Amino acid sequence: MAPMREGDETTKLPGPSPPPVPSPPPTPVLLSVDETLTRLEATGYLASREIATCAFLADNMEKPVLVEGPAGVGKTAFARALARALGRPLIHLQCYEGLDESKALYEWEYAKQLLYTQLLKDKIGETLQGAGTLGEAADRIARSDAVFFSQRFLLPRPILQALLSPQPALLLVDEVDKADPEFEAFLLEVLADNAVTIPELGTLRATAVPRVVLTSNAARELSDALKRRCLHLHIDFPSRERELRILRSRFPALPARLAEGVVAAVAKLREMELKKPPSISETLDWAHSLVLLNADVLTPELVAATLNVVLKYESDAERARPHVPQLAQA
């Protein structure tokens, strides 16, 4: 029987129909700024309207977000919350000085290639049998390159993982300012094309465009080209009202008067000329320590005993100690 061509009206053979192929679940899309606020809050991240607006635009415009601000204000937490709000797996790339493409993009599994070479040595011997010269033998081996330099031996690193993920992913490039400018230029090219070229395999394009969040603590100035490619979001210390909401959401058993005292004291510390003003992470640590100490109210003795929790440098603690009574009454 001749095979049925496309467009033939041939009657199908009787028999059970194959089961329908399930459609992939739709990717959640942020539909409005208000919905974005709700989704982020459902993950435990209490965003400001500015943060929610940026998240909404990034999702709908398919643009990376460059998040800058002091350490500890929730830049990485924003990326994690956005991934959960979108229903995407989070793929984390931590940047550091000396980071290169091989650590961020892909590596060849040389140990696995060597193992396969040992297991297939008899077959390799057959391939080389009858080769008259070294050049001919090398040519025969070269024709087998596709076997040993295939996706079977490819070890994807975070960037390639995000591009090839079968489920749309969110790539977090954390502390990009710590990486070298050369890596920044490479990253810019990847973000522009959503594709990478591997010499042995050719160009690999994204299965689905990943959402990308880059964070920076301003250790160095980033290039204008990278900034143009991204939406910019600056996360600063939260307002007192927002910080109090965050505190109460994390520690609902914290007495109201104590929570208000902690937020007010932290605000006063931020007004001082400190080497490292306390951020939201230090506020949460301080509140946690006070819960463990069964505190009901902030007293000068309690402030003095726990100042090392909220201030990370001794020089800052020395500057703050004369103001302990005022901090307790803030």
Least confident of 130-139, 180-189, 198-207, 265-274: 130-139
**Three-class DSSP category at 193:** helix
In sequence order, which residues have a C-beta less than 8 Å from that of residue 168 and are 6 or more positions away?
27, 86, 88, 208, 209, 210, 211
At 37, list the tokens.
């606020």
Whole-number pLDDT of residue 21: 40
Mean local confidence (pLDDT), 212-240? 93
Q: What angle do CA 251, 256, 259 make, to 5 degrees?
A: 60
* C-alpha span between 152 and 115 (Å, rounded): 13
Whole-number pLDDT of residue 255: 93
Whole-number pLDDT of residue 177: 93
Contact yes or no for 212/173 (Cβ under 8 A): yes
The closest of 213, 96, 94, 198 to 154, measured between CA atoms, is 198
Least confident of 37-46, 75-84, 189-198, 317-326: 189-198
Instruction: Give the CATH number of domain 33-105+157-234.
Output: 3.40.50.300
Whole-number pLDDT of residue 19: 42
Whole-number pLDDT of residue 8: 38
The mean predicted confidence, pLDDT, of the chain is 82
Tell the residue number behind the tokens 């830049």, with chain if given: 75
Of 22 and 80, more confident? 80
Whole-number pLDDT of residue 116: 53
Burial of 176 (0-12, 13-18, 19+ CB in 10 A): buried
Whole-number pLDDT of residue 129: 57
Q: What percent of the chain has pLDDT over 70?
A: 75
Mean local confidence (pLDDT), 296-315? 94
Mean local confidence (pLDDT), 273-298? 94
In sequence order, which residues have a C-beta less than 8 Å from that of residue 247 and are 6 or more positions away?
254, 259, 262, 263, 283, 284, 287
Whole-number pLDDT of residue 292: 94
Whole-number pLDDT of residue 26: 44
For residues 29, 84, 66, 198, the Cα torsion angle rounded to the nearest 10 degrees is -90
Q: What percent of the chain has pLDDT over 90?
A: 58
Of 146 and 62, more confident? 62
pLDDT band of 4, cuts 50, 70, 90: very low
Whole-number pLDDT of residue 239: 93
Of 3 and 158, more confident? 158
- Judged against a pLDDT cut of 80, whether residue 317 lies above it is answered with yes
pLDDT band of 282, cuts 50, 70, 90: very high
Least confident of 42-46, 70-74, 101-105, 241-245: 101-105
- Judged against a pLDDT cut of 50, whether residue 24 lies above it is answered with no
* C-alpha span between 304 and 326 (Å, rounded): 12
Whole-number pLDDT of residue 94: 95
Mean local confidence (pLDDT), 8-16? 35
Mean local confidence (pLDDT), 189-209? 79
- Judged against a pLDDT cut of 50, whether residue 23 lies above it is answered with no
Whole-number pLDDT of residue 118: 59
Q: At what angle do helices 256-271 and 240-250 cross, to 10 degrees?
A: 130
At 187, list the tokens.
């990253």
The closest of 175, 161, 169 to 103, measured between CA atoms, is 161
The closest of 276, 283, 262, 284 to 319, measured between CA atoms, is 276
Of 112 and 222, more confident? 222
